[in-house]
């Protein structure tokens, strides 16, 4: 059996890796287009503190978080250990008015997911001890099981591990060849026959699927995310900070602090850092953590989140085109659920039990 995966971001790379582990012949098609979401994503894994009420989104997000230990173990067995993944915990900053209700909600969720750990309601002083740049006098919900990761490192590790197991990676622009079933993929002037195709092209998927009559409701949302550095400061174990806004702050091992991000719905594929975007990101970050004021600006990354018609991902087989599987619409949750949804897509391509009811994630809804 041969499967072609179009798109090798976090979900596509995961699909390719899972297929290669299963002994399937795999071809990963990568595009040089700038702005791929995986390359810019923050890398926060903490579904338990989300304010999202959709139970189907929450279910797959927790499954995504709980999939990571299995993935890390598999990659380690394949010699891949540099992923930027660490369970550093998270701090959800809350006001006095919402403290009891918010804590109860998070605690109830965490109690059903052992990975979350024992949730605590801590003081602003304790929060500042855990994340020194903070200036927060209210309480915070501390979730010890929350993690952060480097999406680029995880993606690249899965790609390398897949190639060691026989997968091929081809760079170029893909076009799916299909009638009532997939026949293969044309990559520039090369045709690759396939028994199944996984469409994991992110925000570019309408361009990929439209020519074969498959319409997916995916649009790009530009995100600008800023990387700072605090020279000489040990930041490796700082928790993820989740303010009351939709912004966030997280830290990595190399004195690097990541702050973000904008959510720009009308920017198309305009791959630019803008003055307004930088002002928004820095303004939000410094209002929460003024101790970052003296940090060095390292870079600002741009990613186009693939946004579906609602918060849930687009995941499943396409009935009118046998052998076609879509994994898309991960939105701002890409690095939380990407590896898990990629593994589900791989099972669908192999026509085995996906392990989850996919009705809520219909890719054509």
Is pLDDT above 80 for 99? no
Q: What percent of the chain has pLDDT over 70?
A: 100
pLDDT, average across residues 271-284: 97
CATH superfamily of this structure's domain 219-307 = D-Amino Acid Oxidase, subunit A, domain 2 (3.30.9.10)
Q: pLDDT class for 307, splitting at 50, 70, 90?
A: very high
Is pLDDT above 90 for 33? no
pLDDT, average across residues 25-48: 93
| Cα 195 from Cα 15, distance rounded (Å) | 15
Predicted pLDDT of residue 310: 97
Q: pLDDT class for 137, splitting at 50, 70, 90?
A: confident
pLDDT, tens digit (0-9, with 9 covering 90-100), for 149-187: 999 999 999 999 999 999 999 999 999 999 999 999 999
Predicted pLDDT of residue 244: 86
Name the E strands within the chain. Answer: 2-6, 25-30, 44-45, 90-93, 120-122, 140-143, 147-148, 168-171, 174-178, 182-187, 190-193, 196-199, 219-229, 240-242, 248-251, 256-260, 296-307, 314-317, 324-328
Q: pLDDT class for 95, splitting at 50, 70, 90?
A: confident
Multiple choice CATH, 2-39+152-217+310-361, 3.30.450.40, 3.40.50.920, 3.50.50.60, 3.55.40.20:
3.50.50.60
Predicted pLDDT of residue 198: 98
Domain spans in the chain, listed from the N-terminal domain onward: 2-39+152-217+310-361, 90-145, 219-307
pLDDT, average across residues 25-54: 93
Predicted pLDDT of residue 32: 81
Is pLDDT above 90 for 98? no
pLDDT, average across residues 33-59: 93
Q: pLDDT class for 97, splitting at 50, 70, 90?
A: confident
């Amino acid at each position: 059996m041969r499967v072609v995966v179009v798109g090798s971001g976090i979900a596509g790379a995961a699909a390719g890796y899972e297929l290669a582990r299963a002994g399937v012949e795999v071809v990963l098609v990568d595009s040089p287009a700038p702005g791929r979401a995986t390359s810019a994503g923050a890398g926060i894994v903490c579904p338990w503190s989300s304010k999202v009420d959709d139970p189907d989104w929450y279910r797959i997000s927790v499954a995504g978080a709980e999939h990571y230990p299995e993935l890390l173990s598999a990659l380690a067995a394949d010699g891949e250990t540099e992923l930027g993944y660490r369970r550093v915990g998270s701090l959800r900053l809350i006001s006095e008015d919402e403290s009891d209700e918010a804590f109860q909600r998070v605690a109830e969720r965490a109690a059903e997911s052992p990975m979350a750990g024992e949730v605590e309601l801590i003081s602003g002083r304790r929060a500042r001890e855990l994340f020194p740049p903070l200036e927060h006098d209210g309480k915070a919900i501390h979730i010890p099981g929350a993690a952060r990761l480097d999406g680029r490192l995880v993606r690249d590790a899965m790609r390398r591990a897949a190639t060691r197991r026989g997968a091929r990676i081809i760079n170029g622009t893909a076009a799916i060849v299909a009638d009532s079933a997939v026949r293969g993929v044309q990559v520039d002037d090369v045709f690759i026959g396939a028994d199944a195709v996984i469409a994991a092209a992110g925000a570019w998927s309408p361009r990929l699927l439209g020519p074969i009559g498959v319409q997916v409701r995916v649009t790009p949302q530009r995100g600008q995310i800023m990387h700072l550095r605090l020279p000489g400061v040990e930041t490796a174990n700082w928790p993820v900070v989740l303010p009351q806004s939709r912004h966030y702050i997280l830290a990595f091992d190399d004195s690097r602090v990541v702050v973000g991000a904008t959510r720009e719905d009308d920017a198309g594929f305009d791959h630019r850092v803008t003055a307004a975007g930088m002002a928004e990101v820095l303004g939000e970050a410094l209002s929460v953590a003024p101790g970052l004021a003296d940090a060095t600006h390292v870079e600002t990354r741009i990613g186009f989140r693939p946004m579906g018609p609602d918060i849930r991902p687009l995941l499943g087989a396409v009935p009118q085109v046998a052998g076609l599987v879509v994994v898309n619409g991960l939105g701002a949750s890409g690095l939380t659920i990407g590896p898990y949804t990629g593994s589900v897509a791989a099972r669908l391509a192999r026509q085995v039990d996906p392990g989850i009811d996919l009705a809520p994630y219909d890719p054509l809804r």
